[in-house]
Amino acid sequence: MWAMGDAGEGLIDADARIQERMDELERERQQTRSKPARDPEKVHALESLRLARTELERQSAATTHERRRAQIAEAIAEIDRRMAVAQDALKA
């Protein structure tokens, strides 16, 4: 008899989790609709810059040669400048 009660509780819990997930998905859909449309090319460009920066940081951590580190630091600074411009363009 206990097994039947436990199974029933499990179904109720599963139904509650399903309803919570459905509510969460609906909230996400509403947030997506309320956000202004972003230019996919600008979003892609910004993401590419983020990835490039991450790769340069990895290279910098792995490099022992000071001249190469200086070059990487300059490249990161340039990427940061471009990212700031790209982020401003997305806000506009």
What totals of helices (H) and strands (E) does the chain contain, helices first? 3, 0
Res 85: pLDDT: 93
23-79 per-position pLDDT tens digit: 888 888 877 666 556 788 888 999 999 999 999 999 999 999 999 999 999 999 999
Enter the pTM of the model: 0.58
Tokens read off for 30:
């509403």
CA distance 64 to 76: 17
Q: Is the pLDDT of residue 6 over 60?
A: no
Q: Is the pLDDT of residue 3 over 80?
A: no
Res 9: pLDDT: 63
Cβ atoms within 10 A of the Cβ of 75, count? 16
CA distance 69 to 79: 15
> Cα 67 vs. chain centroid, distance in angstroms?
33
